[in-house]
Structures are given as C-alpha cells and as structure tokens.
C-alpha cells in the first residue's frame, strides 16, 4: 500500500513537472498584462539606482524583451539583416545563437517580436511576417510559415511586432489578409486549424489577448481600425468595435480586468473600457479617456486603478477603472513603458530614464531612479522581472539589475 502511494505521488509530481514545462511564455509577464508576481523586492532604490549585476553586449539591433524558460534567457536580435535567437545562461553568458532568417531592415531596423517558448519548442515571428518554430535547445528549425505568402497578408509600415500567443496545441497570429485576417495553426507542424476574415483589415502591431471565460476562450486583438473579438475554438468573429488613429498603430495588448476590457492606442486616440458580456459574445462602451493614449508602453491595472503614460498626452496617469476619472497626471519622467510587481511601478521612459514609483492613486511618488546608458537605439523594450532581478534590453545590450 505504501509502495503504491509513493508510486502515485512520484507519478503525479512527474506529470505536473511535464505540464509546467509546457506552459508557454508570454510577452509582458506570466499573464500577459504587465503584472509580475515577484515579492520581497526593494521598496526604495539607492541614490545611484539599482545595482547592475551583469550585462551582455552583442544582441545586434532589436526592440523585443527577454523570455525566461528551461533555466535560460531567450532573446531575438538582428545582425547584418539576419534574425537570430540568442540564449544566455542566468549569469549572462551566451550559450548559443541560431539564425531564423531575414529580419526587418527598413525604418527602425531590428527584431521586434519576443520569442515564445513552450517546452522544447520556440516560436519567433519576424518583422517580415515569417513565423518560425525552432528547437529551444539548439535553435534547429522545425517548420516555418510565411504569413504574407501563405495567408494573403501584407506587411505594415514599421514591420510586424506581434508576439504570437500559444494555447495548448494552437498558435494564433494575425497575417492581416482579407480572407485570412487571423489564423490558428497547429504549433507542432504549422498546419492551418482555422482562419477568420475578421473585418478584413491590416494587422496593427498588436499582440493578442486570450481571455478564458466559462463559456469560451476569446481572442481579442486590434487591427487597423477596429478592436475584434474572435472565438478561439473556431475563428468566428463575435464582435468588433471602432478604434482608429492617424497611423493605424495599436501596439498595446488589450487588458482584461474584473470581467471587462480596456483597449488603448497612441497618437491621441486614447482608451476605451468595454463591458464584455459574460459569454464573450458582445461588448458595449462604458467610458473613454483620450489622455490614456500610450503608443507602445502598455498599461497595468492594480486594485481598481489603471497606471501608465500617454503619447500625445505625455503625462503619467492614474485612472479609476470603474468611473474613468483621473486621480493624477505627472511629468516627473518622460513617457514610456510600465510594468508592476510587489506594490511598485517600474517605469522606463523613451528618454532612457528607469524609475521606481508607488502604485497608489494618491500620486506619482518616485522611490528611486537611474538612467540607462548602456546599449543602443530607442528606449522602447518592455522590461521583465524574474527571480528578484529586472532585465532591460536596450538595443544590443541586455542589462540585469538587482531589485
């Protein structure tokens, strides 16, 4: 009896470890919403800023974030027009790198999408619309699909920036074609599972949001002029809502909180809170806020308040989730990216400022700051928190800070 019990426990532990290893990584944290579950972090930084533990130089050109899986750090970068996956160990040493093909060399050249790792497989979507599945242990290519050639898509002005979403055996992406607007592929072989015409618009730099509702799984994304909701099981378009701006740029992943959605875009468009029906089949407007017009910096919702910065409206803001009322607007640092952990906002401005602030509707209280001087190019990448460290990619450099 004891032997059988021990065998059952060992089997369950083994099964759980396998299932855990297959959980796919996500852009912007474990739930794709910019919120990290780390605790015991510094509540205030030294005057000189957080200590740099190490940095790795040599990533080439790129704007993506690091992904953590299998005890390693995965990044994408471009060198001489070729896209590469770089794999670092926890000490910041290069273990290997492997090419996944040509990358985007036009305006703001470099890799855009963050690698997604699920078990022993890695997925990277190039700025030129090619999705490649690689072995996460050595970078060998398993399969690839050209979303423009295979699915009647077309590239957009600043190149594809979507990080693909994986659920079980399915990988979702947005070619932006008239017929094949959003598609679901078998992640093991790249074969088409379903295709959705959406509303027939070009893609819009948006990484989709997968919402797991009791009635269905809902895929929410933004294309050129609309927010769209698609049944993730069969590709049926359930609803659409107008969302447009000057350049058809909607690079922020929608946020799901307390049963509703918040979708937001830059260039003065701002954000809209949508009341989502319990079965995900419809939406209706609750309120809008033109000042929450982050272009590429994301937003977080903490204890019923939204935190983030704008684009045309450059201030950092706190807005009540229920009413849409603004609690403060601050200009202490430039506009940029926000993530959250352990009661704190981590803000990275497009001027290279890295700041720690309270997540409180009472005010934008900065608890420490530094300036990112390592690296190259634009200060656009979204930081990642992992094992009590903050990892920030600035062009050709990845920096690990002790936080």
**CA angle, 128 then 129 then 133, to 5°:** 115
pTM, two decimal places: 0.94
Domains of the chain in start order, with CATH, are 41-62+334-379+381-403 (2.40.10.480)
The continuous run of DSSP H or E covering 273 comes out as strand 270-276
Going by DSSP bridges, is the β-strand pair 260-265/270-276 parallel, antiparallel, or unpaired? antiparallel
Residue pLDDT, tens place only, 309-328: 999 999 999 999 999 999 99
The C-alpha atoms of residue 19 and residue 22 are separated, in whole angstroms, by 5
Residue pLDDT, tens place only, 168-195: 999 999 999 999 999 999 999 999 999 9
Query: Which positions ≥6 away from 255 have C-beta within 8 Å?
Result: 33, 209, 261, 262, 263, 299, 300, 301, 306
Residue 231 pLDDT: 98
The C-alpha atoms of residue 168 and residue 172 are separated, in whole angstroms, by 11
Query: Which positions ≥6 away from 238 have C-beta within 8 Å?
Result: 218, 229, 230, 231, 280, 281, 282
Q: Is the pLDDT of residue 17 over 50?
A: no
Query: Which positions ≥6 away from 136 have C-beta within 8 Å?
Result: 69, 70, 74, 117, 119, 120, 121, 122
Percent of the chain with pLDDT over 90: 95
Residue 89 pLDDT: 98
Residue pLDDT, tens place only, 124-141: 999 999 999 999 999 999
Q: Is the pLDDT of residue 14 over 50?
A: no
Model confidence at 117, in pLDDT bands (50, 70, 90)? very high
Q: Is the pLDDT of residue 301 over 80?
A: yes
Q: Is the pLDDT of residue 7 over 70?
A: no
Residue 335 pLDDT: 98
CB-based contact 87:135 (threshold 8 Å): no
The C-alpha atoms of residue 229 and residue 218 are separated, in whole angstroms, by 6
Residue 22 pLDDT: 80
Mean pLDDT taken over the chain: 95
Model confidence at 21, in pLDDT bands (50, 70, 90)? low
In this structure, what are the phi and psi dihedrals at residue 136, rounded to the nearest 5 degrees? -75, -5
Mean pLDDT of 237-245: 98
Residue 2 pLDDT: 55
Q: Is the pLDDT of residue 13 over 50?
A: no
Residue 118 pLDDT: 98
The C-alpha atoms of residue 178 and residue 199 are separated, in whole angstroms, by 8
């Amino acid at each position: 009896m004891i032997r059988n019990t021990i065998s059952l426990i060992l089997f369950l532990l083994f099964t759980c470890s396998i299932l855990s290893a297959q959980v796919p990584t996500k852009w912007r944290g474990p739930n794709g919403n910019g919120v990290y579950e780390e605790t015991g972090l510094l509540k205030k930084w030294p005057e000189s800023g957080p200590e740099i533990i190490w940095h790795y130089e040599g990533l080439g050109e790129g704007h993506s974030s690091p992904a953590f899986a299998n005890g390693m750090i995965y990044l994408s970068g471009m060198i001489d027009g070729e896209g590469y996956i770089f794999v670092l160990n926890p000490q910041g040493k290069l273990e290997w790198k492997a090419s996944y093909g040509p990358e985007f060399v036009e305006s703001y050249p470099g890799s855009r999408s963050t690698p997604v790792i699920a078990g022993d497989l890695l997925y990277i979507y190039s700025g030129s619309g090619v999705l490649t599945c690689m072995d996460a242990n050595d970078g060998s290519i398993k399969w690839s699909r050209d979303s423009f050639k295979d699915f009647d898509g077309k590239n957009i002005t600043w190149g594809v920036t979507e990080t693909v979403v994986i659920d079980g055996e399915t990988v979702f992406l947005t070619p932006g074609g008239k017929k094949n607007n959003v598609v679901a592929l078998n992640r093991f072989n790249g074969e088409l599972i379903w295709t959705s015409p959406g509303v027939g618009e070009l893609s819009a730099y948006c990484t989709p949001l997968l919402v797991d509702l009791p009635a269905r799984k809902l895929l929410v994304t933004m294309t050129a002029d609309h927010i769209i909701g698609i049944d993730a099981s069969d590709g049926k378009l359930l609803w659409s809502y107008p969302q447009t701006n000057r350049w058809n740029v909607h690079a922020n992943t929608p946020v799901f909180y307390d049963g509703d959605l918040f979708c937001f875009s830059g260039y003065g468009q701002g954000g809209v809170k949508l009341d989502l029906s319990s079965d995900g089949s419809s939406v209706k407007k609750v309120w809008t806020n033109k000042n929450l017009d982050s272009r590429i910096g994301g937003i977080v919702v903490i204890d019923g308040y939204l935190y983030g910065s704008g684009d045309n409206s450059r201030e950092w803001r706190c807005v009540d989730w229920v009413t849409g009322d603004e609690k403060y607007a601050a200009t202490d640092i430039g506009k940029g990216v926000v993530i959250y952990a352990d009661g704190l906002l981590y803000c990275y401005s497009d001027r290279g400022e890295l700041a720690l602030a309270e997540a409180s509707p009472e005010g934008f209280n900065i608890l420490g700051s530094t300036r990112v001087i390592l690296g190259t190019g634009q200060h656009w990448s979204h930081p990642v928190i992992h094992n009590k460290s903050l990892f920030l990619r600035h062009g050709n450099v990845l920096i690990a800070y002790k936080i």
